[in-house]
Amino acid sequence: MSAVTVNSAGVSAADPRIPLRNHLRHTGALIRRNLLWIRQDPESMFDAILFPVIFTLLFVYVFGGSIGQSLGGGQEAYVQYVVPGLLAMMGMNMAQGVGTGFNTDFHTGVMDRFRSLPIGRASVLIAKISVEMMRMLVASAVLMVVGVLVGFHIHHWLGMFAAIGLSAVFGSALMWVFLTLGVTMKSAQSVQAMGFLVLMPLQFGSSIFAPTQSMPGWLQNFTDYNPLSALADAARGLMVGGPVAHGTLLTLAWSVGLTAVMAPISIYKFRTKT
């Protein structure tokens, strides 16, 4: 942490006018600190590694036969459908974890230490998001490996990388939402409960796990604007083939909107939290 404690610009801890170069240096030092913490506590990677394995096997072998028949191809057809959909869930689940971890850091005094240092307040949040993005990329890689093992065929390799990138963009936007919850909620359990209440309808009221044509009309209207549906549909189009533009543009619009609204709120709440 010595790289963080040095203030080469000579500004005080209360002075928010820190040069961009110093912001980048502080962010890099905090990213290194968070990565070292993961190295000391490898169990913190269990969710990123086990979540894609468990969900892929669960949905393919429990629901693959029945839902796959409605797709006209049985379990093999369902694998092609659900794996890109699960990619849309990677950012969502990693985002929820960043909120609970951030809240825990406040209760253990880590954030009080950071706020007492002459570092950019945004650097703490951006470093947290950067490390979670790395964990998300690990989870996405595990998902692709498991998907191939259960029969997923990647038709467009460049499309696969584009789909992972799109998922990362949306996941980073969601992280600002959960960072705000992590600052404002009283406990990590409250953050987790709130995330469950918000994300569960988005997750199952979408095209991630099943086509939406058989859903009631009012629910289909909801799924049409659900960002998780847009991301899942875009990922399918990029990796397997099909329409791409609508889902991609809608996902990017949600990502930009969430970031533009929630990032300033997160930074403000972090600065003013007592």
Q: How far is CA 79 from CA 147, 150, 160, in A?
A: 7, 7, 15
Q: How far is Cα 55 from Cα 62, in angstroms, rounded to an integer?
A: 10
CA distances in angstroms from 238 to 65, 156, 225, 249, listed in the order given? 24, 7, 19, 13
pLDDT of residue 27: 83
- pLDDT tens-digit profile of 44-79? 788 888 989 999 999 999 888 888 887 877 888 899
From the list 268, 45, 27, 54, the residue with the least C-alpha distance to 138 is 45
Percentage, residues of the chain above pLDDT 90 = 31
For 13, list phi and psi in degrees, rounded to 5. -65, -25
Segment 36-49, tens digit of pLDDT = 888 887 887 888 88
- Of 99, 81, 272, which is closest to residue 186 (Cα–Cα)? 99
Over the stretch 13-38, which tens digit does the pLDDT of each residue have? 334 567 777 778 888 888 888 888 88
Cα R_g (the chain), whole angstroms: 20
